[in-house]
C-alpha cells in the first residue's frame, strides 16, 4: 500500500521511478562487474527508499495541522536534504564507476 500511495500522491517518487527504469538497464550494460552494477542500481534504490521516508515524514506533519511550526519545517527540510544527499551519492557512485573508462 505504501508504494501505491507514493506512486499516486508523490510526483517526485514517480520521477525517481522513471529514472530508475531508464538508468537500471544502462547500469547493467555499463557495469563491468556485479559489484559495479550493484553500486549503480543500489544507489538509485536508496534514493527511492529515502523518498518514501521523506513522504512519510511530510504526511505525519500534515496530519497534525497546516499551521507553521519551526520544528515541522525543520523536519521536512531535513527529509528533503536526506533525499538530496542520496541523489549526490548516485552521482558519485556512477562517476567513480564510469570515470576511469572515460579518462
Residue 84's nearest CA partner among 49, 47, 58, 33 is 47
Residue 55 has pLDDT above 80, yes or no: yes
Residue 36's nearest CA partner among 101, 86, 88 is 101
Cell readout for 66 is 497546516
Residues known to be catalytic = 51
Distance, in Å, from the CA atom of 17 to the CA atom of 67, rounded to the nearest integer, reads 31
Distance, in Å, from the CA atom of 3 to the CA atom of 19, rounded to the nearest integer, reads 16
Residue 101 has pLDDT above 90, yes or no: no
State how far Cα 74 lies from the chain centre: 19
Sequence-distant (6+) residues with CB within 8 A of 14 are 7
Residue 84 has pLDDT above 80, yes or no: yes
Give the global pTM: 0.90
Cell readout for 42 is 543500489
Amino acid at each position: 500500500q505504501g508504494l501505491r500511495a507514493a506512486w499516486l500522491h508523490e510526483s517526485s517518487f514517480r520521477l525517481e521511478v522513471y529514472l530508475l527504469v531508464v538508468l537500471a538497464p544502462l547500469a547493467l550494460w555499463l557495469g563491468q562487474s556485479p559489484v559495479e552494477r550493484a553500486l549503480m542500481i543500489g544507489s538509485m534504490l536508496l534514493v527511492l527508499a529515502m523518498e518514501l521516508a521523506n513522504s512519510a515524514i511530510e504526511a505525519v506533519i500534515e496530519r497534525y495541522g497546516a499551521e507553521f511550526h519551526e520544528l515541522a519545517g525543520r523536519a521536512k527540510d531535513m527529509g528533503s536534504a536526506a533525499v538530496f544527499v542520496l541523489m549526490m551519492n548516485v552521482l558519485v557512485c556512477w562517476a567513480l564507476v564510469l570515470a576511469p573508462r572515460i579518462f
